[in-house]
Amino acid sequence: MDDPDTNIQSFVIKIWLEETIGESGQVVWRGRITHVSSGERRLIKHLSEIQPFIWPYLETVGVKPDIGRRVGRWLKQWRSSLKIDR
């Protein structure tokens, strides 16, 4: 039987509010994403950088492009709900 852990990819995503820009109330978010098993890390200047970091790992466990699009839509909705930078 296949080990179910071989099909799991884990990430730690930390985001924080960097600053508020003027009286417009526009906020700037920053972050860091870490792939748990490899330890690879990337600083994030725009939250839109999360999906490109995650996608290659998902492909290695056989995630199909349709799932990737759904993940991308979810991230976009999540960013919109936080009123963050694009």
Residue 28 parent element (H or E):
strand 26-35
Mean of pLDDT values over 59-84: 71
Cβ pair 61, 29 in contact under 8 A: no
Q: Is 54 exposed, middle or buried (0-12, 13-18, 19+ CB in 10 A)?
A: buried
pLDDT in tens, 3-48: 556 678 899 999 998 877 666 677 788 899 999 999 999 999 888 8
pLDDT in tens, 42-69: 999 888 898 889 988 888 888 776 666 6
pLDDT grade for 86, boundaries at 50, 70 and 90 = very low
Alpha-helical runs (H) found in 1-86: 50-60, 65-82
Which pLDDT belongs to residue 73? 75
- Residue ranges per structural domain of the chain: 4-82
